Structure 1
């Protein structure tokens, strides 16, 4: 697979590193409107060709697929152009800024017959994949209750940098800079974490969003700090289970932590994932009578990058697909509506 990396900002370095390590994948080009940035990126990753736009790269055409690492609002037009040119697309999350655009991308990719996947990175957590297997095997019985959280603390501490002065954080707090806040940024991750681990999509949702005062007039320079900082959501899954999902950037002491608990009529599973370790705990069978939770060891799994390369080689889309990401986007869009009218909606 000859791969073009579209957008050469921070996350693009992860794409370049992971794809370059896969046998059969060749990084053939980088694209960025900033010539200095793409030059530095290509030099760092030994990429031979640089382009100022996707149009220029498509005119060249000597590649099979793109890794779309552009800003969220640019995912739609660039992916649509690549799909029209018959290129496979591996897109960063969220797939689009709203469900309508996400479905347009999905339907275009499926009609064109190109491989389409979204980099929902926590699918790479082996403990989550094993938890899903346990749930789907019936070991914990029919799922009754799901609890999931995504906790970050970069509004509390400067461990990742100072959000008050650095644009890489400030834009995430500003609607006019393309942010849908915590819901849009990490909500898609924790919802995918929850539905994948629980083995069921979402049927109903109700959500509350909260934006806290963070500066005089809630403004720093050109940034209006009006995007949501926290959300709390109740769900009903298609399998009938009740779910509670919440996320915040104010979680003191939690740099980047996801947690999922799935409870069934015969047992439960819990996945804990941090930036530095992951755990899978299971309580089932006789242990359910004593409330004993045991940690389960798991082997590493293929990454999204590896699955995409394999999908292109086989000519068949693997999960997480555009359609799955579009379905999650519909939940996010519906959540915003429920905040406005204060009652539950069917997804």
Structure 2
């Protein structure tokens, strides 16, 4: 299985390591507009062929699939070119920067009959799969309330480096550099975490966004710091539950944490994923009367990287799909509209 890596920034190193560890997968080429970064990346990962554009790589064409790790704003054009060439694609999240582009990518991929997958990386957490199975089994009963959060603290601490001095962080705070803030950056992760883990969909919601002052004049060099830092969403779910979803980069004391809590009339489940570890806790059966929570061990699951390779080998669809990611992007677009209109919007 021959794989091309499109984009050689920080996240591309993770892709290269994870794909190279899968038996039978060969990293045959890489693409980047920065020749120095490209050369450094290829040397680090033993990649023989380097290309300055996706068009140049496609003219060569000696590969089966592409993992697209370009910046968000480049996903649409580069992925559409790969689809037109009949190449399987795993694209980093978000699929696109708006729903119309995400839908166009989805429809093009489905028409071409290629494997089209989005790297919603928290699908690699076994506990979220176990929580979903528990919900679907009916052991929680009728789900009434759902809570989900994505908490980061990199605007508060230097645990991830000093964001004031690094362009890899500053662009995430600037609309002019292609960022839709925390909503666009990690919002898609927590929306997938909650809808997949709770085995449901979002039917309607309201959303509020907030951008906090971070520097004099809200500017550092060329970066105007106007992208949202926090969001809070209230939602009605397809299973009849009511819930809250929120995310922030100002969550002091939380390096990188995702939480999901699903409450039914017969039991409850909680998933906590941090940069250190993951756990699933349940309150079931007689424990409901005493409020006793127990940690449950879960089995490992295939990673997104393994699922993508297996899907290519079998030439069959897999999840998380382009269509699923496009629906999440539609919710994100509607969340921005909800903030602008200051009212509830219908999703379903």
Partner of 1:99: 99
Aligned residue number for residue 191 of structure 1:
191
Q: CA deviation at 1:216?
A: 1.0
- Taking the aligned partners of 1:112 and 1:256, their CA distance within structure 2 comes to 37
Distance in 2 between residues matched to 1:30 and 1:102, nearest whole Å: 24
Q: Give the CA deviation at 1:284.
A: 1.1
> Shift of the alpha carbon at 1:271?
0.2
Residue number in structure 2 paired with 1:80: 80
Alignment deviations for residues 20-69 of structure 1 (CA, whole Å, 9 cap, x no partner): 00112111000001111111111111111111100000000000110000
- Number of the residue aligned with 2:20: 20
Number of the residue aligned with 1:136: 136
1:295-327 Cα offsets, whole Å, 9 max, x none, are 000122110000000010111111100000000
CA distance in 2, matches of 1:220, 1:16: 32
Q: Could you list the structure 1 runs, at least 4 aligned residues long, displaced by more than 4 angstroms after superposition.
A: none
**C-alpha offsets along residues 224-246 of structure 1, whole Å, 9 cap, x if unaligned?**
10000000000111111111001
Confirm or deny that 1:51 pairs with 2:46. no
Shift of 1:159: 1.1
**2:61 alignment partner in structure 1:** 61
What number of residue pairs does the alignment pair up?
347
Structure 1: distance between partners of 2:49 and 2:77: 22
Shift of 1:143: 1.2
Deviation for aligned residue 1:265: 1.3
Q: What residue is the counterpart of 2:181 in the other structure?
A: 181
Q: Secondary structure at the match of 1:164?
A: helix
Distance 2:210 2:34 in 1: 35
| Map of 2:170 onto structure 1 | 170
For 2:242 and 2:17, the matched residues in 1 are separated by 40
Is 1:229–2:229 an aligned residue pair?
yes
Q: What is residue 314 of structure 1 aligned with on the other side?
A: 314
Structure 1 position 166, deviation (Å): 0.9
Secondary structure at 2:140's aligned position in 1? coil
SS in 2 for 1:94: coil
Secondary structure in structure 1 of the residue aligned to 2:97:
coil
Partners of 2:262 and 2:162 in 1: CA distance: 36
The 5 A counterparts of 1:1-347 are 1-347=1-347
- 5+ unaligned residues in a row in structure 1: which ranges? none
Write the deviation string for residues 57-114 of structure 1: whole angstroms up to 9, x where unpaired.
Answer: 0000000110000000100000000000000000000000000000000000000000
State the shift of 1:286 in Å: 1.2
> What is the Cα-based RMSD across aligned positions, in Å?
0.6
Alignment partner of 2:107: what SS? helix
Q: What is the alpha-carbon distance in structure 2 between the residues aligned to residue 87 and residue 249 of structure 1?
A: 36
2:316 match: secondary structure: coil
Question: Using the alignment, how far apart are the partners of 1:111 and 1:326 within structure 2?
Answer: 16
TM-score for the superposition, normalised by structure 2: 0.99
SS in 2 for 1:192: helix
